Amino acid sequence: MSVWRAIAAAALVAAAPALLAGEIPPDARRSGYSFMGPDTRAMQDDDTSNPGMLFVLDGEQLWGKKTGSAEKACADCHGDARSSMKGIAARYPAFDKTLGRPVTLDQRINLCRANRQQAAPLPYESRDLLALSAFVAHQSRGVAITAGDDPQAKPFVEQGRELFAQREGQLNLACTNCHDDNFDKHLAGAPITQGQPTGYPLYRLEWQTLGSLERRLRSCMSGVRAQAYDYGSPELVALELYLMSRTRGLPMETPAVRP
């Protein structure tokens, strides 16, 4: 499937007009939900049918579970997530003053584990980390995204913007070639969206599981035959920050469902 996607991507861009669309104006930005078919929308809308909700329920259990040598649970510090975590995911990645750089929600969870719970970090894309991220982000469902508002984060937003527009890989394509210039078209039968990350971590039918935005970015890089950045790398964090900043104002949907 990835081979055909790569061939289709090359053909799509080759057929694109010489004058490309450029960055999408804020008032024209749309969630990936608007590109989905009725069956996928219905799956996301019904919590009893949305498979991502199984991870949210797992995350709720982990929230109250004591762990690490400190024998602390997330709830011991943060209390009821329904109130304490409301709106939190909508501003991530967020600038960390101690580290002097932005961190993702996954990284924040692991920092809390290390510093507060004296526990080992959870591996990227592990079920427990995805479950905790989904549970925390789910508390912000319907809340407008505000990531990138911190002035200290601006240089990293610009780094992400440059990476988004940078051609790479054997196909010599940039993120913007698909998601700014050719959205509303199809690639190997799948709709091309604007790449607005309103619902991560989300459930992809292609994956048959929940996955992070970093996994999606790495998949796109592999699709254009480029070397994917490592999970947690500064480049992936900057890309995630830029994408979330350009999604500013759209509501959180976690856990979203996509093809």
pLDDT in tens, 10-37: 444 444 443 345 789 999 999 999 999 9
SS percent in the chain: helix, strand, coil, step 5: 45, 10, 45
pLDDT, mean of residues 242-255: 97
**pLDDT, position 13:** 47
**pLDDT, position 245:** 97
Among residues of the chain, what percentage have pLDDT more than 70? 92
Q: What is the pLDDT of residues 126-185, one digit of tens each?
A: 999 999 999 999 999 999 999 999 999 999 999 999 999 999 999 999 999 999 999 999
**pLDDT, position 130:** 98
**pLDDT over 50 at 72, yes or no:** yes
**pLDDT, position 21:** 54
C-alpha distances in Å from residue 237, one per residue of 32, 35, 214, 255: 21, 25, 8, 20
Question: Across all residues in the chain, what is the average pLDDT?
Answer: 93
**pLDDT, position 189:** 81
**pLDDT over 50 at 7, yes or no:** no
Asked if 62 and 68 count as a contact pair (C-beta separation under 8 A), the reply is no
pLDDT-derived band at 218 (thresholds 50, 70, 90) equals: very high
Q: What is the pLDDT of residues 51-62, one digit of tens each?
A: 999 999 999 999
Catalytic residue among 74, 175, 178, 220: 220
**pLDDT over 50 at 225, yes or no:** yes
**pLDDT, position 19:** 37
**pLDDT, position 187:** 86
Does the annotation count 220 as an active-site position?
yes
Q: Where are the alpha helices (DSSP H) in the chain?
A: 2-14, 38-45, 53-63, 74-78, 81-84, 105-112, 127-138, 154-164, 175-179, 213-223, 234-246
Q: Taking Cα atoms as reference points, which of 168, 132, 110, 143 lies closest to residue 247?
A: 143
Which pTM does this prediction carry? Answer: 0.91
Crossing angle of helices 213-223 and 234-246, rounded to 10°: 110
Bigger pLDDT: 186 vs 137: 137
